[in-house]
Structure 1
Amino acid sequence: MSVPELFRLLARKWALLLLVPLVLGASTWFFARELPTAYSSDTTIYTGIASGYSLAGNASADYNATNNAFDNLTNLITARSTKQEVLCRLLAQDLWDTRQHPEYLPLSRYEDLREGLPATQRQQLTASTLEATQEAVRTMAEADNSNAVRKLLDAKNATYSLNALKKLTATHLGFSDLIKVEFESHDPELCQNTLSLVTQVFLSQSKNLRESQTTSVIAYYETELKRAKERLDKAESENLAFNRANNIINYDAQSQNVATEKEALATQLTETNQQYAGAMAALRAVNGKLGSQQSAILSSREVVEQRRKLSQVNASLADQQLFGQQNAEGTAKARQLQAEADAAAQAIQNNVNTYYAQSNTPGGIPNKDLLGEWVQNMVLVESNKAKLAVMDRRRDEFEREYQRMAPLGASLKRIAREIDLAEKNYLAVLANLNASKATQQNTQLTANLKIVDQPNLPAQPKSNPLLLLLLLSTIGGLVLTAGTVAGLGLLDRTLQTPEKASRQTGLPVAGLLLANHAAPTARQQELQQRSLEQLARYLLLKSNTTTAPGPFLVGIGSVQGQEGKTTLCQALATCCHTMGMSVMALYPAGTDGLATGEVPTLYYPAETAAVQAWPLEQLLVHATPRQPAGQPLPKVVLVEFPALREGALPVGLLRQLGQVFLTVSATRAWRPADRQAVDQLRAATPAPIEMVLTGVTEAHAQEAIS
């Protein structure tokens, strides 16, 4: 369907396009004339999400994170939990107000309260304070789904139901840090009060949600920190007990000192062994030179006692010199022991000198000199012997110390590793705990949203819903009707107009017949007459230009019955006669009552003509009433055929046709069977086949003829 056709279709349905919107508008006004007026209040909240300041500095410009944060806040405002808490507070506040001021209850604002909660239920919920009343209402609302408060919240009332808060909206204002919250209600004070409660509940829930995110994390890290501290303390206590049990101050230094002292002891032991061996050899040599008498003197009780004393003093001196404390006290003690050793050596020398009378040895060496040498070697032997005894004892002590400290190193390393791991774990948990506490502090700073504009008390209604509904219903009715008409026109497969019929059938349209009416108007009669005259002039032109002998034979048929072929034949014959043309009409037998007296009308046996294949001459012979002999044939002969899909056609007559008019109803669709019947007719006659569209509406006829 083209655009002009669409506009013509809508123009033809102007009454429907006008009536439906008017009816819808009137219905809307009737049913919506008592709708309550809507009041709107809004508030603006500053969030600081996009450009606010935190402990870490300015807020980061992460587009996705910022949008996610704003979506969380706007969704939290319109969440069911927020709405339910607002309604509980609003209900508790109204219960408290009506208890303090019973005269408020008859007001229209409290109509839903009176109808939703009986007096006994209101008394039961109203406590001694507003906070206690809120808690009572909240407890009952969350108890089950069958109590009065729960039913009131889930009902369709305009004050205390979740449905009443459907006009609550939250919007992020552009690229700013602001969120605008709007609410619409039928009462201005209720609108402002509800929006105030919404902001209170939202700010509280937002702060609780953001702070609770870090509370559980901090609790976890505090528990882990306690465990890490216990593990570290346990490892350090084990290290302390181990060092105390094994007398360890600094294992590395102690082990190094032991190794150093052992090496030094080994060196001194070697040197002392050498000195002892030399002194012992010299002493044996002197003993060999002394006589028996001198030997007896040296073996006397006084000398032996002095030697024993000298040996003890040298042993103490050697122990003090080698392993004593190297301080003033140790030096003084060493000096004292040295003095005692010198005194013991001098005493031995004095005892030996008492025998200086024996001045010469048997070998000629003076006895006094040999005795002095003997005393010196004896002192050296005793001194080195004492040192060797002390060094051997210390060497055994070093061996035992080595055996004791060797396994201690591995244990100390294990304890050190345990302390190191425990310390690292402790420090890591402590760092995470500090970071979480910083995040919590930052959240506490940034979670304090600020109200920029407090909820206002609307003085004027937002809009008149009745006017808006009237406009919507009227325009919607017009659009719906126009769409329905256009859709039905697009879906309509009937032929309707000559242009559409020619496109679908592939046949040229020679003329048209208007739809039958009981009392046709003058305009319809005029259009019908003009169409017949155009068709008659077309036949006149065709009959005058044909070169075939005899009358101009016109066949009038249809694909199926009741499509106006008889009406066309009769009307066309009358029109041709009126125009002065010599015309005759032939109808199949059984269509009596069509003779007018002006146009010769004959009836022929259609089935016999089809079987016998009669030409026009034979048809006229067997037609009734019989044509008088010698009467000339008219110039134009109109022959009506049976329907192509219902009867047989006179094949002999088809070959003589000069024109075929096929009537097709404009109120039906063109089917493949119709096309097949036309193809068969086209194959049986050489005459051109044209279509006459019947049952055309006045509007379509006017478009086609004018």
Structure 2
Amino acid sequence: MEAISKVKVERISSSDLVKLSYEIDDPGICQQTLKIYIDVCTKKYKDLKENGSDTVVKYFEAQLSESEKKLKAIEQKLLKFNQDNNIINYYEQSKAVAIVKEDMDVAYKKGMAQLAGSEASAQRLEQKLAIQELIQQKNNAIVDSKKELGELNYKIGMYAAKSSNNETSKQHLENLKKQAKALQKEIKTNVDELYTFQNSTDGVPIKKVLPDWVDKTVESEDLKAKLSVMNQQNKAIEKQFATYAPAGANLKRIEREINVAEQEYLEILHGLNLAKLKFQDAQLSSNLTAVDPPFYPLKPMPSKRKIIIIAIVFITGIIILATILFMEFFDDTLKNEQKASEKLQIPSMGMLPKLFRAKPHLDLVKMQDRLMDFVMQNFHQNFKAQNNTKTPKIITVFSTRDNEGKSVITANIAKRLKASGYSVLVLNHSNEDKSKTSVSKSPWLYKFLGYQDPRIDYNHPFLSQTTAGLSASEYYVYNKSIAYRDVKNYDELSFEVSEKTTKTQIIF
């Protein structure tokens, strides 16, 4: 990732071309890094284009499936609505019902008008037929009047035949003639009325009115039957109208839902087609190609690498030197004999190092013996400078901390003095051997880093047992008082040594 992050990307002018450059020490790594970078970019670009388009296609396919289910559900709802209301084609059926109703209304009104006319004609004919009784009465009256007129004429003839001149007879004859004349007039009137009764106002004979009345009566009954049937049909049509009226509104609502769902389906289908086209276009256009593949660089680019390296080495040297000087100036450790004498204000007899495990080519035994020779020379010089008396000399070895090697150094000094012909006596507070433990559990890490092996070399002759080389009369052990273990201050001690001081003495 660090190498790829150093690849520089630069657009060439305003074109769609991109220039990639990479700088590194190895020319092969430079070329292969650019190749890998181009391959990864091409693959990622193709995946990005195809995955984005494929996600859109899947989205539209899911939406199309949901829209199709919704459209089918609404269409099924329309089918059930048509089945429940017995509708095949609502608009044609409603139009046909409206036309039939209009025709039925016209026919019904026309039938009602015809019925009214027929009933009026029948009533008129019935009125004409009611005169027949009057005609019969008139005929009887005319016959009676003729019979009476005949009798009067007979009486007139009889009185005239008798030709009596008396006033009574004449008067009686005149009365008869008046009666006869009145009867004649009555008969004439009855005959005129009879003629009037026997002929209608239209000049139609009464005999012809009866068939017409029968026809009109039959026609009226026929019209009544037709109108009754038409009335039932009108009720059925009105019932169908009552069904079709709300059905139209519900049908419109369902059709609007279907139209909206259909438009939604078509829009999603259109979007799906566009997404598929874009996906195909992305597949065709997602193949990035390198116009100029990365080449193997033959000549390195001029750089300031050498100057930078020299500057780094110079600065590093200055930092190291400054660090050493700083540590040397502020270091309070006793690194050598001279510095120890200056720090402690005490003359130094010598210095002995810790005995680590050394490499095979180093002879630490001789080095340690040589250092002990220097220490013993200082001892002898120091004793010679003092008053040379035959009294025993006491050498006290002490330290401010435990396990500093007092017993080991005391035993080695005693052995050297004995070897020089002196009689020695070592007084030690304890003869317990210290546990020989290793300082480090991972010496290989110190070796790997180039440091000294930190483990103590217990096989070194200098670290041999303290009683080795000394007789029982030359080594004496005394026990420390337990009371000194619990002392808490300087006043509790009976000798001029700090509370943590342990000591070993050599008397010679």
Range class of TM-score, shorter chain: 0.3 to 0.5
Q: Which has the higher strand share?
A: 1
The structure with more radius of gyration: 2
TM-score computed with the length of structure 1 as normaliser: 0.32
TM-score computed with the length of structure 2 as normaliser: 0.43
